Structure 1
Amino acid sequence: MSRMRTALPGVLVAIALAAGAAWFFSTHERKQETVKLPPRGEATYNPLYALKLALRAQGQVVASRQRLDVVEMALRPGDTVVLLGDPRTVTPTQWDDLFAFVDAGGHLVLRLPGWQKGVNPAGDLAEWLPIQPLLLPARCLSLRMPGQPDHVEFCRAPRFRLADDARPLAAWRNDQGLHAYARFAQGRGTVDLAGSLEMLDNRSLRDVPHQVFARQLLAPGWGAGRYHLVYAADMPPLWRWLLDRAWMALLPLALALLGWLWMRSQRFGPLLASPPAARRSLLEHVQASGEHLLRYGRFGTLHAAMRDAVLDRLRRRDPLAAALEGDARAALVAQRTGLGVREVRAALDTRPPRDKREFRERIARLIDLRTRL
């Protein structure tokens, strides 16, 4: 019977656990869910980060940089340079270096600058490539691929016309002869010019048609050399970034700063007068204590305190006289101070004063004696 009582709690616990497990597995179902996380690190500021990873996954050598630096890039024949930024930011010296690299066997991928009214979108590119300037953007171009939904591309991108003597290796144009893309032979290399390179950025590269276009765009340098991806980081100003990202921390700090400034600022016309400052003068406390004792007739206490102060000074100035008593001490003190023996004896008398008049006289004698010591 005792063994059954000992094992009963364990059996109840096991039954409860089994019932809980049965309820959990009968009411819950295990599912796998994919959550898209926001980009982090280089993916937040490099629009060609996905292209960089894709090329490396294909075994290509890739280097990405924010600014164009031809000397540091050490370009060689067979390399490919992709300029995602506005070509108007390229200096004439850099153009000379880039097209010299193309003449030696390199591959250059460019885009036209954004269209602006009254501005030649081709810029200085018309001096290097057989194209003509265009003043208006054209309609979108259709991109159809088997097994993929229809796409429209280059919707907001400028177009260009080819010069009469141009012989492009590949081209993409509409019915009016306006080109959105063309590949030109330049020396021993090639130059690809597109109205826009949006199909190469991180978001657009998710689509299969954009991946195919990127593969064809980068085909001349495939496996021949390195790929140099040059992007212009589109970072907003610091104040704009703080306003968009850090306002939840800046708002409490701004309120705290305003409160601190309000507390420290000068007050004009307060509603209540400032409380009197606390006084800690020891002399005031001693004087107040003496006036209190004098008011209630404690003459003996005040006289004894003054007499003790005189004797303390006497011990420091003349220990021999302080050690004596009676007439002997009065004689030595009188000799030292120049007072009469009778006056010294009356001043050091231990009897308490009887009234205020006697109290004042005896205190005056003690003060005079203390001064002469």
Structure 2
Amino acid sequence: MNGWAPRVALVALGLLCAGAFAAWWLHSYERVEHRLPLPPAGEAAYNPLYALRLALRADGVEATSRQRLDLDAHPPGPRDTVLLLGDPGTLAPREVEALLAWVDGGGHLLVSTPRGRRMAAAPASGLLTRLGIELRAAGGCERMHLPGQEQHVEFCGGTRFIPRGVDPELAWGDFAAGFVFARLRRGEGAVDVLAAHDFVVNGALDEAPHAALTRQLLDRNYGRGTIHLVYAASMPGLWRLLLERAWMAWAPLLLALAAWLWMRLQRIGPVLPSPPEQRRSLLEHVQASGEHLRRYGRAALLHAAVREAFLDRLRRRDPLAAALDGPARVAAIAARTGLAAADIEHALREPRPRDGNDFRQRVARLIDMRRRL
């Protein structure tokens, strides 16, 4: 009974600590909701004017959106509005003529200048050129004040422009710094040129200044016709895109290719002599090896090799003479070869060091003795 008391006390203490921790947790922490914005899905993922279309329809204005202008399939009415979100320089000359004719009949067209500096000059048949718009460099921001809202800036980094030969009906900017907005009157209609259209895309309309500015731009034919939202005009050719937009990638590659070709280019200079043909004669290699050994004082090795060759043939031709030693062997060799015993004994002895004449004599005698066996 005494052994269970400490265990019960320990369990009770653990439960008490757990209850105290749970009470502290519930008292100190509060469950709150946290919203995480999800990435757009469906049409909102590829249509940057999707939110504007929904807002216009919610306000009772007929609005449509598409990727291509396609005037043949979707001709705008005389009181319609067309907003081109893409670069107007990509429009074909036939489309430019059709748009200007439609504007002269009462249409309202909104376009923006292209982003960044273009490497190629604007074509004479381009929309901005036909409107008398001269592009300038990108400028700073323009201040925009909306009653009840904080100070706001707009058109940051947009390509400014100067209208030439035409007096704008409405304008924002000056001739010194360039304009960010100009409404050009054409016939019964008008063309609005802006330095940027980024305030009308999805996510930007949540801000009150952007919504108010968009409403003011669409006021000319607002509620009188359909608003056509074109978020991608006809794409230019691949080579033109590569030339104007991808030069930062292909220019270094072109320089690297030129450097590689220059490194492997044949140099111009005097004719080099033909390389010497390799010598493959075995006798020449043997002779060169012998000259090398003799030059470095190893003539005794060459003499020993010649003497061993002579004794090897002697063992095959006259085993009895080869088995003898000393003067007896010299006498047997002299009897077989017909040479003097003194010459044979002189040839069999090791030559004197650094004495080339003595080396040649002994080797020549050994060769002669081997030939006589």
Structure 1 residue 72 and structure 2 residue 73: aligned?
yes
Alpha-carbon distance change, 112 to 151 in structure 1, aligned in 2, over 3 angstroms:
same
Would the aligned equivalents of 1:121 and 1:134 in 2 still touch at CA under 8 Å?
Answer: no
CA distance in 2, matches of 1:233, 1:163: 25
Aligned amino acid, residue 187 of structure 1: G
Corresponding position of 1:317:
none
Corresponding position of 2:151:
150
Corresponding position of 1:183:
183
Q: Measure how far apart 1:152 and its partner are.
A: 2.1
Corresponding position of 1:301:
none
Name stretches of at least 5 consecutive residues in structure 1 with no aligned partner.
1-18, 236-373
Aligned residue for 1:54, secondary structure, equals helix
Alpha-carbon distance change, 25 to 75 in structure 1, aligned in 2, over 3 angstroms:
same
Corresponding position of 2:337:
none
CA distance in 2, matches of 1:190, 1:204: 25
Deviation string for 1:108-162 (max 9, x for gaps)?
Answer: 110111231554469723442133x234222221122222222222221111112
Instruction: Give the number of equivalent residue pairs.
Output: 213
Alpha-carbon distance change, 179 to 104 in structure 1, aligned in 2, over 3 angstroms:
same
Corresponding position of 1:40:
41
CA distance in 1, matches of 2:233, 2:117: 22
Aligned amino acid, residue 112 of structure 2: R
Aligned amino acid, residue 196 of structure 2: S
Q: 2:127 aligns with which of 125, 129, 134?
A: 125
Structure 1 residue 218 and structure 2 residue 182: aligned?
no
Q: Measure how far apart 1:177 and its partner are.
A: 4.8
CA distance in 2, matches of 1:36, 1:234: 32
CA distance in 2, matches of 1:81, 1:198: 16
CA distance in 1, matches of 2:151, 2:121: 31
Deviation string for 1:145-193 (max 9, x for gaps)?
Answer: 22222222222111111224x2212111057251011111111111111
Would the aligned equivalents of 1:63 and 1:226 in 2 still touch at CA under 8 Å?
Answer: yes
Would the aligned equivalents of 2:141 and 2:154 in 1 still touch at CA under 8 Å?
Answer: yes
Would the aligned equivalents of 2:53 and 2:63 in 1 still touch at CA under 8 Å?
Answer: yes
CA distance in 2, matches of 1:25, 1:194: 57
Aligned amino acid, residue 131 of structure 2: L
Name stretches of at least 5 consecutive residues in structure 2 with no aligned partner.
1-18, 236-373
Aligned amino acid, residue 211 of structure 1: A
CA distance in 2, matches of 1:30, 1:231: 43
Aligned residue for 1:172, secondary structure, equals strand
Matches within 5 A, 1:6-45: 31-45=32-46
Aligned amino acid, residue 130 of structure 2: W
Q: Measure how far apart 1:228 and its partner are.
A: 0.6
Corresponding position of 2:200:
200
Corresponding position of 1:63:
64
Identity within the alignment, %: 42
Structure-2-length-normalised TM-score: 0.52
Aligned amino acid, residue 170 of structure 1: L
Corresponding position of 2:170:
170
Alpha-carbon distance change, 174 to 140 in structure 1, aligned in 2, over 3 angstroms:
farther
Matches within 5 A, 1:1-373: 31-116=32-117, 118-120=119-121, 124-131=126-133, 133-164=134-165, 166-174=166-174, 176-232=176-232
